[in-house]
Amino acid sequence: MEKDQLAIIIPAYKALFLDQTLHSLACQTCLEFTVYIGDDNSPYQLKDIIDKYTNILKIVYKRFDTNLGGHNLVAQWNRCVDMINGETFFCLFSDDDLMAPNNIENFYRLLESEPSYDVYHYDIDIIDAENNIIEKWDNYPSPISAYDFLRLLYVDKKIDARMPEFIFRTEAFRRNNGFVDFDLAFRSDNATVVICSWNSGICSVPESKVLWRDSGVNVSKIADITIVKRKLLATIDFFNWLAKYYSSLNQPCPIPLKRRMKIVLKEMLRISLDMTRSEMFAYMRKIDVLAKNYILYLYWKSYLVLKLNKLER
């Protein structure tokens, strides 16, 4: 397998941890990759940080004229992928996460024996702002099908999934029309992994880690009620998409309806003080299967009302 066929793509905006991210890449035991940095018209001086590594890493830097991620994060991801120059594989990394030093070397070594997958994967730990490990997840079974990936993630809750831990074959990614677009890019990573890994599954790189940073400012962690409601709608959109996708394959959805509903309603109950009942019912009607089946809608509406009444006692 010819090396130097991997692009590490960083859609960059925040400066706080960017130096640490680039340092973790510069410390790789194999430097046969190119780093593409798409500056999302950041107000911070990212170039000053990046310039420190241009003699160590092969870096292609572009500062975009407009900020796109602020209103369409998936569009920002896609225009950053458009920066790459023919690499066979790419990893959409973050401007605050870290790689263990042997990740790239282990990836190329795995390719020698397992060259046919469209999605590869690094296991992850969660770190805080001081780089302390605050959460450890089980390693993925390898290989794993797209179906089992969703089961383990949403039903059994034995694994976690974040965009920077995945490596995509560029051709398969483009064949499937890029990242699946949901508001705030919430669940877009899961959907994109599913469609790209459908044919061959996901193969994990052994003895390698990505350290995903929970800094408190991640989209997945923001507690602002407007953002939380948008994430709830994005989850509904994702589940609607997933049901349609598996229906198109004449296969059952890996996440049963009951489990999907429990996930959505649990989030509604968590923010029930900030939502009226009529608003909750309107959100429920956005769930395709309930919109098409009034009896099913009434069943889950009654379930929600019972839960709300218990909370209000």
State the Cα–Cα distance between residues 187 and 307, nearest whole angstrom. 26
Residue 219 lies in a domain: no
Residue 215 confidence (pLDDT): 80
Residue 220 confidence (pLDDT): 52
State the Cα–Cα distance between residues 256 and 252, nearest whole angstrom. 8
Say yes or no: 238 and 201 in one domain. no
Say yes or no: 177 and 255 in one domain. no
Residue 239: helix, strand or coil by DSSP?
Answer: helix
Residue 80 lies in a domain: yes
Distance of CA 177 to the CA centre of its chain: 16
Positions in the chain whose pLDDT score sits under 50: 1
Residue 251 CB neighbour total at 10 angstroms: 10
Say yes or no: 130 and 190 in one domain. yes
Angle at 254 between CA 175 and CA 298, to 5 degrees: 115
Residue 107 CB neighbour total at 10 angstroms: 22
Helices H, strands E: what count in the chain?
A: 12, 9
Angle at 191 between CA 267 and CA 220, to 5 degrees: 40
Q: Tell me if 263 sits within 8 A of 235, measured CB to CB.
A: yes
Say yes or no: 204 and 231 in one domain. no
Angle at 154 between CA 150 and CA 156, to 5 degrees: 100
State the Cα–Cα distance between residues 228 and 230, nearest whole angstrom. 5
Q: Tell me if 304 sits within 8 A of 265, measured CB to CB.
A: yes
**pTM of full prediction above 0.75:** yes
Distance of CA 74 to the CA centre of its chain: 11
Residue 50 lies in a domain: yes
Strand partners, 123: 209
Say yes or no: 38 and 169 in one domain. yes
Q: Count structural domains, the chain.
A: 2
Residue 91 confidence (pLDDT): 99
State the Cα–Cα distance between residues 202 and 216, nearest whole angstrom. 29
- Of 172, 188, 213, the position where a domain reaches its end is 213
DSSP codes of every residue in 66-119: S--TTT-HHHHHHHHHTT--S-SEEEE--SS-EE-TTHHHHHHHHHHH----SE
Say yes or no: 107 and 175 in one domain. yes
Residue 3 confidence (pLDDT): 57
CATH code of the domain covering residue 47: 3.90.550.10
13, 68, 69, 130, 220 from 224: Cα distances, Å: 20, 20, 18, 24, 11
- Of 164, 193, 213, the position where a domain reaches its end is 213
Q: Tell me if 169 sits within 8 A of 119, measured CB to CB.
A: yes
Range of the domain at 129: 6-213
- Tell me the residue type at 53: Y
Say yes or no: 38 and 138 in one domain. yes
* Cα diameter, the chain: 65
Say yes or no: 56 and 193 in one domain. yes
Residue 163 lies in a domain: yes
Nearest Cα to Cα of residue 7 among 29, 38, 44: 38
Q: Around 141, how many Cα atoms within 13 Å sit in the side-chain half-sphere?
A: 12
Say yes or no: 165 and 245 in one domain. no
State the Cα–Cα distance between residues 104 and 85, nearest whole angstrom. 18
The pair of three-digit structure tokens given for residue 280, joined into one six-digit string? 């909750």
- Of 161, 179, 213, the position where a domain reaches its end is 213
Say yes or no: 23 and 116 in one domain. yes
Residue 175 lies in a domain: yes
Say yes or no: 35 and 117 in one domain. yes
Say yes or no: 34 and 173 in one domain. yes
State the Cα–Cα distance between residues 212 and 165, nearest whole angstrom. 8
Strand partners, 127: 133, 213
